[in-house]
C-alpha cells in the first residue's frame, strides 16, 4: 500500500508542471526604456514561455544597451538585451567576467551618421569642413575614427561637438550641426516626433555600408548563469526564439505583449519601431542562411578588430569569449521569415 501511495504521489508531483515545480529566478534587464524592439522578451514573459521553461523572469527597464553589460557584470542581473560590442570592450579588459551573447537578434548595427539633405553632404568625404555632434562615449561616436580611416576622411578636418542624446535631432533641425552620430532605431523616430520626414529629408550613412562590419544587440547572460545553470540558459534561448518567430509573423500580438508590460507607451509608435527592427536590423542575407540567433565567427572576429581599434583595446578577445551558440535550437527551428501585418 505504501508503494502505491508513493507512486501516486510521485505521479501527482510530476504532473504539476513548471507552474508548481521549483522555478529558477532570472533577473533580466532591457537595453533602454520599453520599446517595440523588446518584444521578443516581453512576449516570452506575457505568454508564459519563460514559465514553461521553469523560469521566473523579472524584467526591468534599462539604461542603455552598453549598460546591460555592466549591470550583468555588477551582479544585479543574470541576463539582458544589450550590445555585443560592449561585451567585446569589457571582455578585453576583464576576461572571464563579461557576459556572453547566446542569441544574436540584431544582425546589423544601428550605428549611423544622419545629415539633412540640405547640408550638401553626399559622401563621407563631405564630412570634412562640417560639424558633427553626438553623445560622448556612444559606439557611433567612438567608432567614427575607424569609419573615417576606412573611408579616407581626414578626421582633423571634421569638427565634433559633444551633446546630450536628446539634443541631437533638435540641433540638427536648427542647423547648429551638420550631422549627428546616432542609433538609427532611435533617431528615425525622434525626427518623426519633431515633424520631420527621415526618409525624404535626410541622408543616412549607416556604418555597415562603409566597411564597419559589426553585429549589435541580442540576448546575453552572465558567466555565472552560463556555468552554474546551463539548463536555465537553454530555457531562456528557447523561450526567446519561440517569441521571436511569432512576432516576425504577427506584430499585433507583439504590441499586446508590449502594452501588457508597460501601458504608458504609444502602441503605434512602438509597433513602427518593432517593424523597423525587423526590417532594418534583423533582416539580412546572413540571417536567411544561418537562422535567427546565430552569427558567423569570422565576421565576429573582424568586428572585434574594429571595436579594438575604435576603443584602443589592449587585448583582442577570441570570438569564443563573446558568443556561445551551443544553446541554439536546430537551424530549422530558427528560420527567419518576416510578414509585416
Q: Which architecture characterizes domain 16-107+215-333 according to CATH?
A: 3-Layer(aba) Sandwich (3.40)
Average pLDDT of every residue of the chain: 94
Asked if 113 contacts 205 with a C-beta cutoff of 8 angstroms, the reply is yes
And the C-alpha cell for 337? 521569415
Mean pLDDT of 211-219: 97
**pLDDT of amino acid 39:** 98
| Other Cβ atoms within 10 Å of 188 Cβ, number | 24
Segment 313-331 shows an average pLDDT of 98
| Contact criterion met (CB below 8 Å) for 21 and 53 | no
Superfamily of domain 111-210 in CATH is Periplasmic binding protein-like II (3.40.190.10)
Whether pLDDT at 6 is above 50: no
**Taking a C-beta distance cutoff of 8 angstroms, is the pair 88, 322 a contact?**
yes
Helix axes 39-46, 251-261, angle to 10 degrees: 80
Position 3 pLDDT exceeds 50: no
From the centroid of its chain, how far is CA 250? 20
- Contact 181/267 with Cβ under 8 angstroms? no
**Confidence band (pLDDT; 50, 70, 90) for 142?**
very high
| Region(s) of the chain under CATH 3.40.190.10 | 16-107+215-333, 111-210
Q: Find the mean pLDDT for residues 165-173.
A: 96
Question: And the C-alpha cell for 171?
Answer: 540641433
The dihedrals phi and psi of 120, each to the nearest 5 degrees, come to: 80, 5
Instruction: Please tell me the predicted confidence (pLDDT) of residue 341.
Output: 83
Looking at residue 21, what is its pLDDT? 66
From the list 324, 330, 322, 332, the residue with the least C-alpha distance to 84 is 322
What pTM value is reported for the model? 0.92
Q: What is the mean pLDDT of residues 308-336?
A: 97
**Which candidate, 316, 299, 319, places its Cα nearest to that of 308?**
316
Identify the band that residue 20 occupies on the pLDDT scale cut at 50, 70 and 90: low
Q: Which residue has the cell 502594452?
A: 259
Grid coordinates representing 319 are 570570438
Amino acid at each position: 500500500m505504501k508503494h502505491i501511495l508513493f507512486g501516486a504521489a510521485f505521479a501527482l508531483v510530476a504532473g504539476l508542471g513548471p507552474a508548481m515545480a521549483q522555478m529558477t529566478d532570472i533577473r533580466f534587464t532591457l537595453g533602454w526604456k520599453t520599446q517595440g524592439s523588446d518584444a521578443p522578451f516581453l512576449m516570452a514573459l506575457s505568454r508564459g514561455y519563460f514559465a514553461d521553461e521553469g523560469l521566473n523572469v523579472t524584467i526591468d527597464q534599462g539604461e542603455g544597451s552598453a549598460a546591460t553589460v555592466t549591470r550583468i557584470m555588477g551582479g544585479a542581473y543574470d541576463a539582458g538585451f544589450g550590445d555585443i560590442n560592449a561585451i567585446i570592450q569589457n571582455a578585453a579588459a576583464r576576461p572571464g567576467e563579461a557576459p556572453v551573447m547566446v542569441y544574436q537578434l540584431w544582425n546589423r548595427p544601428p550605428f549611423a551618421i544622419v545629415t539633412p539633405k540640405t547640408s550638401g553632404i553626399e559622401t563621407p568625404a563631405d564630412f570634412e569642413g562640417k560639424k558633427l555632434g553626438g553623445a560622448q562615449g556612444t559606439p557611433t561616436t567612438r567608432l567614427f575614427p575607424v569609419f573615417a580611416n576606412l573611408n579616407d576622411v581626414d578626421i582633423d578636418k571634421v569638427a565634433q561637438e559633444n551633446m546630450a542624446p536628446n539634443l541631437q535631432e533638435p540641433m540638427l533641425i536648427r542647423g547648429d550641426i551638420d550631422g549627428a552620430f546616432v542609433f538609427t532605431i532611435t533617431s528615425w523616430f525622434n525626427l518623426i516626433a519633431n515633424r520631420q520626414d527621415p526618409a525624404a529629408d535626410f541622408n543616412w550613412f549607416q556604418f555597415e555600408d562603409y566597411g564597419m562590419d559589426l553585429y549589435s544587440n541580442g540576448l546575453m547572460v552572465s558567466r555565472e548563469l552560463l556555468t552554474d545553470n546551463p539548463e536555465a540558459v537553454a530555457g531562456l534561448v528557447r523561450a526567446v526564439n519561440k517569441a521571436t518567430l511569432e512576432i516576425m509573423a504577427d506584430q499585433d500580438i507583439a504590441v499586446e505583449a508590449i502594452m501588457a508590460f508597460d501601458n504608458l507607451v504609444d502602441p503605434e509608435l512602438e509597433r513602427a519601431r518593432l517593424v523597423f527592427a525587423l526590417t532594418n536590423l534583423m533582416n539580412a542575407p546572413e540571417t536567411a542562411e544561418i537562422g535567427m540567433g546565430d552569427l558567423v565567427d569570422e565576421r565576429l572576429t573582424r568586428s572585434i578588430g574594429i571595436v579594438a581599434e575604435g576603443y584602443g583595446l589592449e587585448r583582442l578577445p577570441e570570438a569564443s569569449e563573446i558568443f556561445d551558440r551551443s544553446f541554439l535550437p536546430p537551424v530549422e527551428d530558427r528560420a527567419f521569415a518576416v510578414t509585416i501585418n
